[in-house]
Structure 1
Amino acid sequence: MSPMQNAINIDERYLNSLPFPALIMDNNGNVMIWGKSAEQQFGFATSDIIGHATSPITESLLRQLSQETFEQIAQNENFTYIENIQVYTQTNDEITTSLLAKSFTENDECLILIMFVLPQFMIKPTSTNNALEDLKQSLESTFMTVTLDQDGFIVDCNQNFLKISQWTPKRVIGKTFWQLFPDNNESEKITNTIWRNLNHGLTWQGEIEKISKSGHPYWVLLTAIPTFNFETNEQQFMLLEKDITKAKTIQHQLEKIAYIDTETGLMNAHRLEKIITKMIEEQRHFSFVYLSIDKFYTLKELQDHPSERNLIIEFTNRMKMYFQDSTMARINENDFVVITPLSEWFIQGFLSYLQQHPIYNGSVAVPISISGGITRFPEDQSTFSQLMKASIATISTVREAGGDNIVSLSKAIHKALNRKALIEKRLLQALDQKNLKVLYQPQVDVASGKITAVEALVRWEDEVIGVVSPDELIPVAEETGLINNIGSFMLEKACEQALIWKKAGFDLKVSINSSVREFRDKNMAKSVLDTLTKTGCPANLLQIEITEKFALEAEAATFITQQMRKLENEGIVFVLDDFGIGYGSFRYMQILPIDTLKIDQSFTSSLLKSEKTQKLMLGMVQLGKSMELTVVAEGVETAEQAELLKSFGCDTIQGYHISKPVTPEEIEILLLK
């Protein structure tokens, strides 16, 4: 495209949408835009036409058109129609055609549009007259039709349109396309899109709301089509419309049922999410007030069914009276949300309002208590999901403190909640992209002083949120269900590394931590054995660490115990981790296939500071030895701790006194010392 053509503000798509081959040229005969249809019909390539000092159009194609005729076209404000003129193709073939030309001004330059009205592009009325007439009658009887001129003014319409819209021909002819639609921003966006499509030679179809002469709304399925009037030689547009008001009314009624709580008339959580999302998009500041009726089910038991319903309705009425002009929703049976710009002190005043306007069951006031949370957008949280999670966390905090209060969380807690939400979002991506890595912390046999095992520990350093500690990662993974994914990742990596060390001559056991959630899957044992087979790792090199919480559930769930037995039979060792801080039970130590007892580091850290702790640890070691279990102490940080544990009869120690968690290469260096 030449520099001159770039300066012209004409849409080529419009030119190519015309029903005939066409071009745009200036007064000097230079072609500015050469339509695709013209290129195909006459054989002149665009590169041969555009930007050349001597145009083959005036020299060849239009050589019968005199300069005087060009000047007449340029001076004529209306269309110029020239019948039966000969034009010549690139191969000098002669074609008889008619020309339709129109001058216009673009960027202060006079230009000429020329269309070649070729016979093959014309509909022959003699052969298709009946079919076209039948088609016209069918459209007239089935659809509402409106015809617009090139400027969007109504020039014709049928009886179906007049009947539905309540217009009369005298009143509607001459009105504009835009006057048929509601006067609001949403309608303006859609009608401008339709008009833009039509002017680009494109059709538009969709459901749209219109207004009748009296201003009542109705809905149509609209098909807008660009056409050409050969009698007037002008661009026109046709609107074909099907009345769908009844179907839309039913749809709106169903949506109302789907989005409204029938008991209170408040919107439900689905509708609330849509409204909140829109408010967030518009960056509107608001407070998200979550209100929960305390001990609701106890109140239900104290009352009969009609009173229970009365309680909810009366509570809703008090919300509506106090939070006037605020948006309200019912989340579930006893939880509500108020979206309001009101200040925090006013929101908290709702509790006093309830005391001053009690709800009665007969003649007795209901002892109603409310736990509430205030979360602000955008200061505290930034999405609907985050607003809900923060509110639930706030309600939990309020109830732990006794309830009957409406509070907002501190900035520090909101920051922590935001980080947790970000961890949830980024964790799935980290698993997909294998961004997690595994470090290993060695365990030393007290008697020999040699490293006999390592614990595999997951580490994650994210490019967005930085280092995520296991204390942050594991709870989030368990809540989201991604702990299974992390477990599978860790198992495979640990097995691969154990095999590498075995081939290098290091007979090291590798421990992985497992969640009871993983073993709730009845295929867990099979998955572990499949991984061992896949990696080629011997089963006796794998240790699985479980917590006392895990053990307590496994004691009651036979299928978990059966899976553990199946893995034990293959040579896998189970380690009871964090012993002493969980759900103490001697019974599961008797039932479950536990080989090793691992005393929690909280005892080790205070070992030298407390004589009572020393007695506790000695007792735990002796308990483990009496049950023929290997006893491991974790969190060992000093030589004094190590010596004391050795004197207690502890078998193995683990902690920073030996090494922090390190890479496989660093483990090998420690093994060679």
Structure 2
Amino acid sequence: MNNSSDDKLSNTDESLQNDELELYKVAYQNLQQRHTALFKLNQLSQDCKELSTFYAQVHRVIKAIMTAENFYIVMYDQTLSTLEFVYHVDEEDEVPEDPVPYESFRGSLTSHVIESKEPLLATPNMIKQMANDGVLNHIGTAGMDWLGVPLLQDGYVIGVMAIQSYTENTRYTEEDKALLTYTAQHVVSALVRLQDHEQLQKAVSSRTRELMEQIREREKAELLQESLYRISELTNRVGLDINDFYGQVHNIIGQLINAENFFIAKYDRESDTIDFVYYLDQNSRNTASDFLPQKSADLYTALVVRRKQTCLLSYDEMYELYRQGETKKPQKETNSWLGVPLIADDDVIGVLVLQSYQKHITYNQQDAELLNFVSHHVSMAIKRRETLDYERRTHEMLEKQVKMRTEALEEEIRQRKQVEQMLKHNASHDDLTGLPNRVVFLDLLDHAINNMKRRPEMEFAVLFLDLDRFKMVNDSLGHHAGDLLLKVVAKELKSIIRANDTVARLGGDEFVVLIEDIDDKSEVYEIAQRITFTLAQPFNIDNQPVFIGTSIGILFSDDRYESAETMLRDADTAMYHAKDSGKGRFEEFDASMHQKIQEELSLEADIRQAIEQDEFTPYFQPIYQLDSAKVIGFEALARWQSSKRGMVMPNQFIPVAEETGLVVDIDLQIMRKACDQLKQWQAQGLCEQQYVSCNLFGNHFYNPTLPDDISHILNSAGLEPAHLRIELTERVLLEENEVVLANMKALKQLGIKLLLDDFGTGYSSLSYVHRFPLDVVKIDRSFITDAHLKTSNRAIIKTIIDLAANLQLATISEGIECQEEADILTQMGCLYGQGYYFAKPMAGEKATALLTASK
């Protein structure tokens, strides 16, 4: 009996051991299977080359270790606050293909994992409870279990990996959550590696494209260089017929630009005639008579001559010129027209023209720049050809003269005498006006001084003239118009003075008159009055009325004068006194003017000493964002706390500083101190994004070391370039100087923004400004004042703001004095402003208090 019971117990234990062994085998197999899957995932993270195939392979691996028919990976961009479903397989739900705002998925299980940074195993009861608690409001298609784990990189969530079941047959456990969490670490490692690999590939591709573009640019440069060499070579081929010369120039240009319709026109200034010396035209409507020499009048070629600059025109632009009466009506066949001036010795000697009658051939700005560059070499080539032809013809003429023996020799002697007389005249007279030059005038003045010493009754006077608005005419209408104006003025002056008096041109727009043998000062005053009245009348220059006026300094003879230079200096001083007193008038020199000169010299000496002693300091005027009244920056304005003079305001020292060039050192001193102050505010935590804006005198931009000078200031202050802005006036832009443009581009590359100050007070327009790398236009205070009362001012302001916005330029309004002006500017779309309404310029201490209060 006992033996039988023992046998039964033995059998039972053996059965239990077998069942337990079977469970261990299953567990071992599951463990083996998961180990193999994880090994594959780890290997996948090393071997996979593209993200596009990586996600599907991850899905296959996970399906091997758990039920994951419904699976997705979503990437989270924290910077852009977006979600992108990079991989998604689901029986019920659909997801967007493109990135979507994160806000649209806030309240979902996915967002819960992102915000908690923790894995989540959500059962139906748990999901229901979370919804009731308000944690979830975006659930999607109802299912069974949902399991999601965060993809973490350096502690930040970069995405979520999730699986989901819709049936009771598939449920997930804590073990599944742990396994999926572990799997996510391998997925993140592979993702980072593959993303870095893709970024590297993109960088390599970008650099490859850049190198290919450089190669193409180099090939274009080599072709251009070869073309210019060939043009230069043509010049030296003495036996080459001029028509063949033009033809080969056409062939060379045709290799650079489409030149199926090509013209070379010569311009004769004396007769105002255009001669088409070479042309090739495909338009059947044009005949040989269309290319005969003719008056310039309304030709488009003449437009280039008048403007003395490249003209790139579409048909619509040509028609608009015709409608304005400036040119003739264009042919309907014309699609694009490009003309560049041929300039030699600052005179237009002709025009190169390209014309297209085909819609698919339209010239662009790059073509214009290229043809303009080539035109300089063509001009020189034509000029050299003409010189060679002239020398050849001269040689032939001399040979004929030699053969004519005595008669020819006499003719040559006569011609040489004429040349000598002409050279003598040119040496003593101004080329443009034909008036005596400075050398002759000083000689005549010295003679008058010596003559009066012998005969005291032989009194005389000197008038020193300067045209008041000549520079404005020269800048706006061009040098050609300025030259014409100087000729007209010279003619008028000669008609006013007496027969025994002398008028001379010193240079530029300065003239002098020597009035000899005077009996009474009233004679001189009368001449000065007639000159002032005459030059105040409008002159017709290029069919346009021009107003100038003149300021005159009068100096009467005196025993104290020993030299002409001294007298000319004092007459010049009287002229400047007249100009300072309001222009369009004359002033007689007196001793008080000496005192003014001495004061200016003393002020100049004090300014130099102040620069050495570092006395100039910045005052800060806040610049506000108009819609929020938030300080976004400061304009640094120069103030001088002189050890001798006390506080000196800018209107007292800036004119002298600009005239002597000392303003350059003052500007850099103000910039250095302003940068130091802004860095100090940053260190105190008073500002983060604010900037300081510094004014630079125009001469700075002609200095090729300007970018290095400013970089040194920024480095010394420890200030980022993004926190410095530079203000310049539009006068700097007028000449389009290469050094100016290079400096502006270099400053932009440093990260410094450029502001155009006092816009609207000079000669530029936004259509002109867009050619320069500017960021901001500052609207001059003259338009802002009483803008709420003046409709015309508001119209101008609105136009500037809209055009600036189209050119992607910001606008700052200066001189805002009241709430009404600020409101109107805000309504018009102006973002920023400054003025006494907000705050006056203040010392650094007060600006610190302002920033402290705003914090």
Give the TM-score, by structure 2 length: 0.36
- Higher relative contact order (CA closer than 8 Å, sequence separation 6+): 1
